[in-house]
A and B are shown apart, each in its own frame.
Chain A
Amino acid sequence: MTIIIDAYCTPGTERETQLSPRQLLRMMDDAGIDRAVIAPQDREIAVCNIDGNQRILEMAEQFGERFIPACSVNPWLGREGNDIFSAAIEAGAKLLVLAPALQGFNLGDELTDELLALAGELSVPVYIHTGPHSSSAPSQLLLVAERHLSTHFILGHCGSSDYSHDMPAVFSVAPKNVWFEISLVRPWAMASYKEMADPSRFIFGSYAPRNDPRLELQYLNREMPRERYPQVYGDNLLGLFQGAKK
Chain B
Amino acid sequence: MIIDCHTHWSMDQWPQNKPDPETWWDVPGRHGIDHAIVLPLAALTDDTKLQLENDRIHQVCRESNGRMIPFCSVKPSQGDPAVAELQRCTGKFHTRGIKIHPWLQGTCVNTSHMDRICEVAGDSGIPLLFHDGTPCVSLPSQIGLLARRHPKTTMILGHLGLMEHWREAISVMRKESNIWGCLCGPHVAAIKEILQRCDRSRLLWGSDYGFGNVDPIDYRLDLLKIQNLKHGDMEKILDHNPKRLLSL
- Chain A interface (Cβ < 8 Å from any Cβ of B): 16-17, 101, 131-134, 157, 160-162, 184, 186-188, 191, 207, 209-212, 215, 219
B172-226 contacts to A (CB < 8 Å): 185, 187-190, 192-193, 211, 214-216, 219, 222-223, 226
CA A101 – CA B168 in complex, angstroms? Answer: 15
Number of residue pairs spanning A and B whose beta carbons lie under 8 angstroms apart:
59
**Can you name 13 A-B pairs with beta carbons within 8 Å?**
A17-B189, A131-B164, A134-B136, A161-B133, A161-B163, A162-B133, A162-B162, A188-B219, A210-B189, A210-B190, A212-B226, A215-B188, A215-B219
Which one, B103, B193, B215, contacts A16 given CB within 8 A? B193
Asked if B135 is an interface residue, CB under 8 A from chain A, the answer is yes
Q: Is the CB of B188 within 8 A of A211?
A: yes
Specify which chain B residues have a CB less than 8 angstroms from the CB of A188 in the assembled complex.
Answer: 211, 214-216, 219
Asked if B105 is an interface residue, CB under 8 A from chain A, the answer is no
Interface SS of B by simple majority = loop
Apart from A161-B163, A188-B215, A211-B187: 4 A-B pairs, beta carbons within 8 A: A132-B135, A132-B164, A133-B164, A184-B163
Asked if B134 is an interface residue, CB under 8 A from chain A, the answer is yes
CA A198 – CA B226 in complex, angstroms? Answer: 33
B101-132 contacts to A (CB < 8 Å): 103
Specify the chain A residue showing the minimal Cβ separation from B187. Answer: A210
CA A188 – CA B189 in complex, angstroms? Answer: 20
Q: Is the CB of A210 within 8 A of B188?
A: yes
Q: Beyond A131-B163, A132-B135, A133-B164, is A187–B188 a contact (Cβ under 8 Å)?
A: no
Q: Is the CB of A132 within 8 A of B133?
A: yes
* Smallest beta-carbon distance B203→chain A, Å: 18
Specify the chain A residue showing the minimal Cβ separation from B211. Answer: A188
Q: Beyond A187-B219, A188-B216, is A132–B162 a contact (Cβ under 8 Å)?
A: yes
CA A161 – CA B186 in complex, angstroms? Answer: 10
CA A49 – CA B219 in complex, angstroms? Answer: 35
Q: Is the CB of A134 within 8 A of B135?
A: yes
Specify which chain B residues have a CB less than 8 angstroms from the CB of A131 in the assembled complex.
Answer: 163-164
* Smallest beta-carbon distance A55→chain B, Å: 20
Query: Closest 7 CB pairs between A and B?
Result: A188-B214, A16-B189, A210-B189, A162-B134, A132-B134, A210-B187, A212-B188
Specify which chain B residues have a CB less than 8 angstroms from the CB of A160 in the assembled complex.
Answer: 163
Q: Is the CB of B134 within 8 A of A184?
A: no
Specify which chain B residues have a CB less than 8 angstroms from the CB of A209 in the assembled complex.
Answer: 188-189
Q: Is the CB of B226 within 8 A of A215?
A: yes
CA A157 – CA B103 in complex, angstroms? Answer: 21
Q: Is the CB of A16 within 8 A of B190?
A: yes
Q: Beyond A187-B219, A215-B222, is A101–B164 a contact (Cβ under 8 Å)?
A: yes
Specify which chain A residues have a CB less than 8 angstroms from the CB of B135 in the assembled complex.
Answer: 132-134
Q: Is the CB of B219 within 8 A of A219?
A: yes
Specify which chain B residues have a CB less than 8 angstroms from the CB of A191 in the assembled complex.
Answer: 214
B215-241 contacts to A (CB < 8 Å): 215-216, 219, 222-223, 226
* Smallest beta-carbon distance B93→chain A, Å: 30
Specify which chain A residues have a CB less than 8 angstroms from the CB of B215 in the assembled complex.
Answer: 188
Specify which chain A residues have a CB less than 8 angstroms from the CB of B222 in the assembled complex.
Answer: 215
* Smallest beta-carbon distance B126→chain A, Å: 26
Specify the chain A residue showing the minimal Cβ separation from B186. Answer: A210
Which one, B103, B136, B162, B223, contacts A161 given CB within 8 A? B162
CA A210 – CA B167 in complex, angstroms? Answer: 13
CA A134 – CA B135 in complex, angstroms? Answer: 8
Specify which chain A residues have a CB less than 8 angstroms from the CB of B216 in the assembled complex.
Answer: 186-188
CA A157 – CA B164 in complex, angstroms? Answer: 12
